[in-house]
Structure 1
Amino acid sequence: MTTCRLCGSTSLASVVDLGATPPCERFLTAQQLDEPEPTYPLHLRVCTECWLAQIPPLISPEDTFTEYAYFSSFSSSWVEHAKTFTGQAVQRLGLGRDSFVVEVASNDGYLLKHVVEQGIRCLGIEPSVNVGKAAREAGVPTVTAFLSPETGTWVRERHGPADLVVANNVYAHIPDVIGFTKGLRALVADDGWVSIEVQHLLTLIEKVQYDTIYHEHFQYYTVESARRALASGGLSLVDVELLPTHGGSIRLWARPAEVAGEPSARVVDVLAREKAAGLHELSGYAEFAAAVNRVRLDLLRFLVDAAAHGKTVVGYGAPGKGNTLLNHCGIRPDLLAYTVDRNPYKHGRFTPGTRIPILPPERIAADRPDYVLVLPWNLRAELTDQLSYIGEWGARLVFPIPRLEIIEVAP
């Protein structure tokens, strides 16, 4: 990749090179284990002009999201987060029965179902056929489409402009960031609001959350680079919230540039924090690759030592981020016997690249392993509670990021 996808600059600097990995959501069937598996470079660079961190667009969204393995509703904490946001947004914006809410990348209706419950007209735009079908079955109106300026215009013409457009955990997933942003502008009313949640590059760097770098995530935002991205489509950033979700996210509130006004004090404050961390210059990225290597070595030392002492280690969860970690560390079933996941779609399949079996969660209680490696570490509180039963036989939880941590749990 030689050109920034946001500003067109050719001044791209390396942040970390994670080698080549398979797409993180292409879970393998047993029949596919003897077939070739393509891998793609995973090299994060940052533009020194607009400070958008990005990877090459080697895999199209159509390759990933037409049939998707991730269903948001399987995370109870994420569903609760969506419910809380919906209530706050309704109050903040004064939404009512005459309002219209659109969510882009609405998945299985995990958020819009709360809008439906309040009697507010809504529509989901979801590219994945299988999860969009689940949303409709749950009573959430959903169209199957990728957002583009044309899609935004089509929805606006048929349903009217949206008072609120929600785009949670999708702004990183689209290579055409300018076209997508123009699509948001096409959807939203001229006096409406856009709310976007996306992982914050500041916490990714500070907490070495490198496993969130994978081919589905084409770019990684600071508030500064997000502000520039929004402006490319005619939107202005007016407020920002710092959230604990996904290890540290930002909720961006934007409006059409014509009505936006001045940004809030919170925007000014976060921009200052980013600048102090060096993320508006190259110095803030200089030590990240070394920190990533330390995480890798610590995890491998633990797994090798556990195997040498006859201890059994299994995984919990099969998230996309987990597959970056497993592939970068070269972890195979000899070090991690299997992982489990609540999503039945993944049962009987194998992790991409590393070919680790994915089983139902009940397998942990049946096998009573010595350690459980938690791959979706961002759900630490939820999963520590869910997995407290392993304390009955003295097993311990292992969290690999931001540093290796082995904890005892009380049943």
Structure 2
Amino acid sequence: MCGSADLVGVVDLGATPPCELFLTAEQLDQPELTYPLHLRVCTGCWLAQIPPLITPEETFTEYAYFASYSGSWVEHARRFVDAAVERLKPSFVVEVASNDGYLLQHVVERGIRCLGIEPSANVGQAAKDKGVPTLTAFLTPETGASVRDGNGPADLVVANNVYAHIPDVIGFTQGLRALVADDGWVSIEVQHLLTLVELNQYDTIYHEHFQYYTVASAQRALASGGLTLVDVELLPTHGGSIRLWARPSGTPSARVLDVLAREKAAGLHDLSGYAGFAERVARVRRDLLRFLITAAEEGKTVAGYGAPGKGNTLLNHCGIRPDLLAYTVDRNPYKHGRFTPGTRIPIAPPERIAQDRPDYVLVLPWNLREELTAQLSYVHEWGGRLVFPIPHLEVV
């Protein structure tokens, strides 16, 4: 972001395949490419980052993640739309990385003109099937200008869980600025580095995520493309996220200043806040492996729940194979019959758990704990227990 090459290592997770490249049965006898997964922080602008070793085109041309399979995430989007429409009264809304229409469907229901910009054709088609107008494209300054020329400026531009996925932060931010009206708003949700470090959420480090933001580094990133951070909200989503409100001009609110002060006190505006993080990550690995090995030696069965990208970071870093985790299940039919990248654990439909009645269910999307605890309440019927690996091993 700032051009400095003065980067300091935070945690090295070895080398893993891209987290969303699920394998078909035919690919099991083929080699897999792996890429280093080493988080570093820049001492020039304090942006935490990994090198852009894979391109967005490799990841997002066809994508395995469909946001609407999480009911709590769809509800989160609905609440956001309700509040934003009430407060801002937009006449034109654009969402960047609009996925399968999980958010814009609520805008369509209100009769407000909108457009999704989604690079993954297969995911974008699901949005079109819901009646959400969708452009298949990556956001660049040129794309932003073209959309503005054809549709007019947007009163509200939304970019949820995409700001960390962009190797060209400056160009992407310039694209946001091109889309938004001079008196409009840009809303960005991204995981907060503060909670990632404090709660050992290292499994959200993967090759799709090139950056890991504090409010301070996000403020600098927005400014690089012509936007001013004017407000921030702390959210519980994804284990702890920030909702950044930016405009072409404005003044940071008291909430921005409060969060900046919290980050500084935690040592994330220098190197001190990263000390000990790598050792805490190693402890998560040791504790989980110890649990799985003990369960295997005692003849207990363990199945997984979910096949999220973050789960593949955890499985690969821990070296977990089918001898310790027989299979995992997922609600997304795209993943059924496929295998997790690197660790090659089979993925089945969710009904498999009720059929097999495992002793333990390892919950990989731990960030959806409340939602999944309710979904998996039936596991208690046969005395099964849920296992949460992050922020520390917990069997409930």
Deviation of the 1:11 alpha carbon: 1.2
Aligned to 1:400: 389
Aligned to 1:184: 176
Aligned to 1:371: 360
Match of 1:346 among 330, 335, 347: 335
TM-score normalised over the length of structure 2: 1.00
Aligned to 2:18: 23
How do 1:140-151 residues align onto structure 2 when only pairs under 5 Å count? Answer: 140-151=132-143
Deviation of the 1:82 alpha carbon: 0.1
> What code does the residue aligned with 2:133 have?
P
How do 1:134-283 residues align onto structure 2 when only pairs under 5 Å count? Answer: 134-257=126-249, 260=250, 262-283=251-272
Structure 2 unaligned residues grouped into runs of 5+: none
Q: Deviations over 1:367-409 (max 9, x none)?
A: 00000000000000000000000000000000000000000xx
Distance (whole Å) between structure 1 residues aligned to residue 290 and residue 377 of structure 2: 25
Deviation of the 1:94 alpha carbon: 2.5
Aligned to 2:67: 72
Q: Deviations over 1:214-263 (max 9, x none)?
A: 00000000000000000000000000000000000000000003xx2x21
> What code does the residue aligned with 2:2 have?
C
How do 1:113-128 residues align onto structure 2 when only pairs under 5 Å count? Answer: 113-128=105-120
Deviation of the 1:114 alpha carbon: 0.2
> What code does the residue aligned with 2:260 have?
L
Aligned to 1:275, what secondary structure does the other structure show? helix
Distance (whole Å) between structure 2 residues aligned to residue 291 and residue 189 of structure 1: 45
Distance (whole Å) between structure 1 residues aligned to residue 370 and residue 44 of structure 2: 38
Distance (whole Å) between structure 1 residues aligned to residue 252 and residue 24 of structure 2: 49
Distance (whole Å) between structure 2 residues aligned to residue 177 and residue 303 of structure 1: 40
Deviation of the 1:286 alpha carbon: 1.2
Distance (whole Å) between structure 1 residues aligned to residue 314 and residue 163 of structure 2: 22
Match of 2:34 among 33, 36, 39: 39
Deviation of the 1:91 alpha carbon: 1.3
Provide the aligned C-alpha RMSD in A. Answer: 0.4
Distance (whole Å) between structure 1 residues aligned to residue 385 and residue 47 of structure 2: 39
Aligned to 1:16, what secondary structure does the other structure show? strand
What is the aligned residue count? 396
Distance (whole Å) between structure 2 residues aligned to residue 159 and residue 10 of structure 1: 40
Distance (whole Å) between structure 2 residues aligned to residue 79 and residue 106 of structure 1: 12
Match of 1:48 among 43, 54, 59: 43
Distance (whole Å) between structure 2 residues aligned to residue 319 and residue 94 of structure 1: 35
Distance (whole Å) between structure 1 residues aligned to residue 143 and residue 89 of structure 2: 27
Deviation of the 1:199 alpha carbon: 0.1
Residue 57 of structure 1 pairs with residue 52 of structure 2: yes
Distance (whole Å) between structure 2 residues aligned to residue 36 and residue 337 of structure 1: 22
Distance (whole Å) between structure 1 residues aligned to residue 166 and residue 268 of structure 2: 22
Structure 1 unaligned residues grouped into runs of 5+: 1-5
Aligned to 2:137, what secondary structure does the other structure show? coil
Distance (whole Å) between structure 1 residues aligned to residue 87 and residue 213 of structure 2: 25
Residue 329 of structure 1 pairs with residue 318 of structure 2: yes
Distance (whole Å) between structure 2 residues aligned to residue 91 and residue 276 of structure 1: 35
Aligned to 1:109: 101
Q: Deviations over 1:152-211 (max 9, x none)?
A: 001000011000000000000010000000000000001100000000000000000000
> What code does the residue aligned with 1:281 have?
D
Distance (whole Å) between structure 2 residues aligned to residue 123 and residue 287 of structure 1: 44
Match of 2:76 among 81, 84, 99: 81
Distance (whole Å) between structure 1 residues aligned to residue 103 and residue 212 of structure 2: 23
Aligned to 2:65, what secondary structure does the other structure show? coil
Aligned to 2:164, what secondary structure does the other structure show? coil
> What code does the residue aligned with 1:42 have?
L
Deviation of the 1:88 alpha carbon: 0.6
Task: Give the fraction of aligned pairs with identical amino acids, expressed as a percent.
Answer: 83
